[in-house]
Amino acid sequence: MPRTVPPSAKLVLASHNPGKLREIADLLVPLGVEVVSAGALGLPEPEETEPDFLGNAKLKALAAARVAGLPALSDDSGFCVAALRGAPGVVSARWAGPGKDFSAAMARVHHEMGDSPDRRCWFICVLCLAWPDGHTEAFEGRVDGIAVWPPRGGRGFGYDPMFLPDGGTLTYGETDPAEKHATSHRARAFVQLVEACFPR
């Protein structure tokens, strides 16, 4: 049985990414938990040294849980492109450089794809909930689509403006945030997390 989080618990969001923090905090509102960010607690941002999303999600959640002495929820997610053999993947944020310039990161994706006819891409999110004693629960969500160029829309963050989900007509950069919250890779992982760890 998955370990659960009691009502009114305090939970650390183990992320320093403002966009992720907003999305996850919005998703947590209905659960009644008290949320505090790793940044607000002055927790350091650990180096993501694992080769996959699950490993990095666990690393971040455990680091925050052990230092804060509270359950911690982390997100490791990325943009994967079939023509680039899954890149940028786990290094999606690093492609944006130290200044987090995702316009440059999207331009790099476009450049490296070249004239490949394979435009398939996907977003993956792994959410990991960790406790100070080292216990973890992890959940994965994925949304498939195609890469478009030029990027469209000023909403969302990261690679959203160049991602057109399968069956959609708007990129994530053009999509209303509430609609994205309901259907994104993060939302799909979050549904599993809530069902397993936040029974109400």
Query: Rounded CA gap, 68 and 73, in Å?
Result: 12
Read off the pLDDT of each residue in 81-103 and give the average, rounded to a whole number. 96
Q: Identify the sign of the CA torsion 58, 61, 64, 69.
A: negative
Output the pLDDT for position 75.
Answer: 92
Q: Which CATH number applies to 10-197? A: 3.90.950.10
**Active-site residue among 26, 52, 75, 76?**
76
pTM: 0.91
Which pLDDT band, with edges at 50, 70 and 90, does 18 fall under? Answer: confident
Mark whether 76 is an active-site residue: yes
Q: What does the pLDDT look like over 20-56, one tens digit per residue?
A: 778 788 888 888 888 888 988 888 888 889 999 999 9
Give the strand pairing for 136-147 and 10-13. unpaired
Query: Rounded CA gap, 199 and 178, in Å?
Result: 23
Domain ranges of the chain: 10-197
Output the pLDDT for position 114.
Answer: 97
